[in-house]
């Protein structure tokens, strides 16, 4: 009998106000690693346990968020509560299908998610896969970042794999130097990295996706999948490089959350031991489905399922 795997995502979830047309907005919940965890759970069903680790408040919005996760089958035992803070909020503005964001997150409870290393370690105990992002890192204090590195080091020593999407949001960082030094620290405890080429070109000067592959592998990361919009995904896995074309997508409505959805499809497949090139195809399909809907998450009944074999 195959043992059911456990995946845990660490990061920030926010209240999302997403346009639905005619000046109207729909309230939901989103956040890069949360989007990935949610799509993982929907794609895998009962084939894996999926949890989300963060901090929220004790207000009605926070209660609604946790209740939604419970209803959708995610493990919420790793969600801490804050007496004084609540969730951050962001609003999506669309220009055609491209998006921009306005954020209200400075006092979000998620900023303290790694302040207690013992609690954080307990929240990811026995996880087979742990996913986090550059946003997870950027919202933390210097001490909390160090706590998180230590906790991930211990988890890897216990057999967990760590997935990291650099997902650089410059407004959250003090400088490019801060971005580079902090991300390098987390790459030292990363097994799978899922960057976007535009970020890597802007903040590291990579000339092309192949250069991004080379840089990450030089840091010792064993598995790299570089997203590049509608361009091919550049993959390094098992010592080989691949360039996997991205299928054309019709009827695009909103590109919000495409990278997070790709991560979910890719990681869901890898959690089931599907080979990396096929995992890329699952990631591409998940991303393509996402951008044909408004907001960062696919409607629940439309999430592509992913099965072993």
What value, to the nearest 5°, has the Cα angle with vertex 244 and ends 298 and 263? 35
pLDDT beyond 50 at 1: no
Query: How many other CB atoms are there within 10 angstroms of residue 92's CB atom?
Result: 21
What would the pLDDT profile of 94-143 be if each residue is shown by its tens digit? 777 667 888 999 889 999 999 999 999 999 999 999 999 999 999 999 99
Query: How many other CB atoms are there within 10 angstroms of residue 180's CB atom?
Result: 14
The dihedrals phi and psi of 278, each to the nearest 5 degrees, come to -70, -35
The dihedrals phi and psi of 164, each to the nearest 5 degrees, come to -140, 125
Average pLDDT in the chain: 94
Concatenated DSSP letters for 144-155? Answer: HHHHHHHHHHHH
Q: Which residues neighbour 40 within 8 Å (Cβ) at sequence distance 6 or greater? A: 7, 9, 48, 50, 264, 267, 268, 271
CA distance linking residue 258 with residue 297, whole number of Å: 9
Higher pLDDT: 94 or 148? It is 148
pLDDT band at 2 (very low <50, low <70, confident <90, very high): low
CATH assignment of 5-302? 3.40.1190.20
* Count of H-run helices and E-run strands, the chain: 10, 13
pLDDT beyond 80 at 201: yes
Whether residue 260 lies in the annotated active site = yes
What would the pLDDT profile of 260-282 be if each residue is shown by its tens digit? 999 999 999 999 999 999 999 99
pLDDT of res. 296: 83
Q: Is 203 exposed, middle or buried (0-12, 13-18, 19+ CB in 10 A)?
A: middle
Q: Which of 82, 165, 199, 260 is catalytic?
A: 260
pLDDT of res. 113: 97
Strands of the sheet with 88-95, listed across from one edge: 24-30, 14-21, 88-95, 98-104
Residue range 243-264: mean pLDDT, rounded: 92
Q: Which residues neighbour 136 within 8 Å (Cβ) at sequence distance 6 or greater? A: 10, 11, 12, 33, 113, 148
Give all strands (DSSP E) within 158-272, no chain letters.
Answer: 161-165, 192-193, 223-226, 233-237, 240-244
What would the pLDDT profile of 163-172 be if each residue is shown by its tens digit? 999 999 999 9
pLDDT of res. 21: 79
Element containing residue 270 per DSSP (H, E)? helix 258-271
Closest by CA position to 267, among listed 134, 125, 165, 137: 165
Residue range 156-169: mean pLDDT, rounded: 97
Closest by CA position to 14, among listed 63, 62, 82: 62
What would the pLDDT profile of 57-82 be if each residue is shown by its tens digit? 999 999 999 999 999 999 999 999 99
Residue range 171-185: mean pLDDT, rounded: 95
CA distance linking residue 207 with residue 201, whole number of Å: 6
Query: What percent of the chain has pLDDT above 90?
Result: 84
């Amino acid at each position: 009998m195959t043992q059911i795997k456990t995946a845990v995502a660490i990061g920030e979830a926010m209240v999302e106000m997403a346009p639905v047309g005619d000046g109207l907005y729909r309230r939901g919940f989103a956040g890069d690693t949360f989007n990935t965890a949610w799509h993982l759970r929907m794609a895998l069903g009962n084939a894996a346990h999926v949890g989300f680790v963060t901090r929220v408040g004790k207000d009605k919005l926070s209660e609604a968020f946790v209740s939604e996760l419970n209803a959708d089958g995610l493990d919420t035992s790793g969600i801490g509560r804050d007496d004084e803070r609540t969730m951050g909020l962001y609003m999506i503005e669309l220009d055609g299908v491209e998006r921009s964001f306005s954020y209200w997150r400075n006092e979000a409870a998620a900023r303290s998610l790694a302040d207690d290393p013992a609690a954080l370690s307990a929240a990811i105990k026995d996880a087979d896969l742990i996913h986090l992002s550059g946003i997870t890192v950027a919202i933390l204090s210097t001490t909390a970042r160090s706590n998180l590195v230590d906790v991930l080091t211990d988890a890897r020593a216990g057999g967990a794999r760590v997935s990291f999407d650099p997902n650089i949001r410059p407004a959250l960082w003090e400088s490019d130097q801060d971005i580079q030094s902090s991300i390098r620290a987390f790459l030292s405890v990363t097994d799978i990295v899922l960057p976007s080429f535009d970020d890597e070109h802007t903040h590291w000067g990579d000339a092309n996706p192949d250069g991004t592959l080379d840089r990450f592998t030089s840091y010792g990361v064993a598995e790299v999948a570089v997203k590049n919009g509608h361009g091919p995904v550049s993959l390094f896995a098992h010592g080989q490089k691949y360039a996997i074309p991205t299928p054309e997508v019709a009827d695009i409505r909103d590109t919000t959350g495409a990278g997070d959805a790709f991560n979910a499809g890719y990681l869901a497949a890898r959690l089931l031991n599907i080979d990396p090139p096929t995992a890329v195809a699952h990631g591409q399909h998940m991303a393509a489905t996402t951008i044909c809907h408004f907001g960062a998450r696919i409607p629940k009944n439309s999430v592509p399922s992913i099965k072993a074999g």
